[in-house]
Structure 1
């Protein structure tokens, strides 16, 4: 079968091991074996220059590491080994694959830090779906790693026709988790972007630079050990549809900038240590109390707990900040004017008392007095009418 390009045996009850020869098909573009009962290891015979574009082993019983020979598949766009028993550290070498757009490793036995890779400027240049959920990854979330996810910053596809990955060749599909439930995307829109690092051991701050991923639709960092405050920069994710930061150690107030997320349909901030009033906005008020449960310091609608008088003040918006700055600038000008006027008045007073009546000042004052004292000519005014 050296000429075969697409081999799709998904959604069956196939068992046994995957034949090693499948990795050596010289013309194979798609190998889709998801949702079977296959076990053993992933084939490790992918030769250099392989045209493989999609490799999907999701929902089987595969073990062992990811074969390093996949680095030879420079055309690979989709790699999905989720819901298996793969036991391996993070495959750093996948960063070099220039076309990789979907990386799904969720629900396996991966371990160690994801960030042991070198700080290259070209890691995952086209990655749009990054799913590491339900593993044993750990370590902080470094800002430099998210800075390199350039494909999640590109909003150039907005407004164009809907396109799907593999359209006209083979329809790729993945499974995402929202609100604790798994949903299968039978077709992947090319503009779909997601980061799911939930159910791991990540800790430290949420990098502010995530706010620069302006085409991100889905962000899930739940069930980790992330601490510190929620960065206000997340309010810049203008197309975000789902935000889940639940079951962490987040502190401080909910930033009012989150009310700018007009497309947000799912919000979960429960089981943290947040405090203060919940921001009010027409769209933000649609989220129920389940979005905030477990935060004993939060108050105001939709929770039944009322805020104290010193907590009810809404943090100023950007417009209010600008107004305050302009008012402050105006008062500075007024103060400068008063100061100059006082100095001028003192000088003129000194001249009056020391030199008598300065003639030029008397002419000005008396001239103004005469003008004010003139009566209008009624006859001329009537004639003019």
Structure 2
């Protein structure tokens, strides 16, 4: 028997004799209630290529014997268990997928991974790994998925050293860590896996050239604000650097990733302007730059991103009129809130009759003058004018009454006298009766 699939059941334990250790190539026990440490018997399966134990309650450390030199394991899926300790010092050199997401692993990323030249997907997310960015992973020629999210990684990314770093990378997730510093300007320059993908080049290899073609790599991704555990049939290109402490300008080279679908740089300290080069990301469906320190206007060319479904630019220091047309007519109010100097739809703040943004003529003398022409100045002007008018009028009446005033006074006097005579006649009539 070469294949045993007992996934998605209610198993709580097993006996070693359940499977023939010599001939088994594929073992899938995913999504059960298995617990305890991994038995030595797993290491005795000398022909095992696929070991899938995800979504159980296994605990203890990951046995070092899984990485012995005789191992043929290419798929090792241990996601969402309770493994602790460190990642084994030695791992099977033929690994194509390593899934350790959602455990309690500590320490550093195992350097033995640099020998896994066939590795296509590495998911170490949601552990307690405490390390700097493993820059040496850039040398892996087939790595397409790198997920380090929700750990204790720290420090700057550093400059890439290879001539063609991460040449096939298509999912890059460093979110929810403690990375700091600026992103090197050329960091994304050679991410060829996110550039100009055609339909024939979107299929991930997924070890399908081996034994079992129905297994999909599983990764945990945040897509348009929601987290999903996904089996990947075709690679979704994604860059997520959110919830770190990156600073400085956003690299313009991100604009070269023309096949990028998801981009999340939120909750950092990025400065400067939104790169106009983002208008080249014609496949982009979700863009989140919220909670940074970005300034300036929103590039008008972003309205050409016809696939953009989710936009979040909130809580920055952006200014001017929000672009209109196409996708920008569909975004809600909270997509741009928290930018006091922004105006126009979808915000309730109108831009007025002036189509120019408040920042377009900051250095112009007229603009400078008008910026100080406030309501206080208007009130002071009216007050001074009223006092001046009363003073001049008093002087005029003191020395000579103008003709218009004399005529007006005579008309008023005649009108009062006529009214008085009318009232006297009415009183006399009442007395006679």
Q: TM-score category by the smaller chain? A: 0.7 to 0.9
Is 1:18 aligned to 2:18, yes or no? no
TM-score (norm 1): 0.77
Alignment of 1:37-48 (within 5 A): 37-46=82-91
Which residue of 2 is the match for residue 379 of structure 1?
none
| 1:300 to 2:338 alignment | no
Hey, what does 1:324 align to over in structure 2?
Answer: none
Corresponding position of 1:252: 296
Distance 1:217 1:307 in 2: 32
For residues 249 and 279 of structure 1, the distance between their equivalents in structure 2, rounded to whole angstroms, comes to 20
Looking at structure 2, the residues matched to 116 and 215 of structure 1 have their Cα atoms a distance apart, in angstroms, of 24
Match of 1:337 in 2: none
> Which residue in the other structure is 2:247 paired with?
203
Partner Cα distance (2:251, 2:202) in 1: 31
- How far did 1:165 drift? 5.1
CA distance in 2: counterparts of 1:299 and 1:165, whole angstroms: 47
Are the counterparts in 2 of residues 165 and 172 from structure 1 also a CA contact under 8 Å? no
| Other-structure match for 2:187 | 145
Matched, 1:35 2:80: yes
Root-mean-square deviation over aligned CA pairs: 1.7
1:283 aligned counterpart, secondary structure: helix
Corresponding residue for residue 51 of structure 1: 94
> TM-score, normalised to structure 2's length?
0.68
Q: Distance in 2 between matches of 1:184 and 1:312?
A: 46
Q: Partners in 2 of 1:311 and 1:20 — Cα distance? A: 67
State the Cα distance separating 1:66 from its structure 2 match: 0.7
Distance in structure 2 (CA, Å) of the matches to 1:131 and 1:22: 27
Partner Cα separation in structure 2 for residue 179 and residue 51 of structure 1: 34
Deviation at 1:102, TM superposition (A): 0.3
Unaligned runs of 5+ in 1: 314-385
Equivalences, count: 307
Q: Is 1:130 equivalent to 2:172 in the alignment?
A: yes
List per-residue Cα deviations over 1:347-379 (Å, max 9, x = no partner).
Answer: xxxxxxxxxxxxxxxxxxxxxxxxxxxxxxxxx
Give the aligned partner of residue 227 of structure 2: 182
Residue 39 of structure 1: how far off its partner (Å): 0.9
Give 1:179 deviation, angstroms.
Answer: 4.6
Asked if 2 retains the 8 angstrom alpha-carbon contact of 1:164 and 1:171, the reply is no
Greater relative contact order structure (CA < 8 Å, 6+ sep): 1
8 Å CA contact 1:129–1:193 kept in 2: the answer is yes
Once the two structures are superposed, what CA deviation does each residue of 1:65-107 show, in whole Å capped at 9, x if it has no partner?
0110111110000110000000111111111011100000000
**Conserved? CA contact 1:226–1:249, under 8 Å:** yes
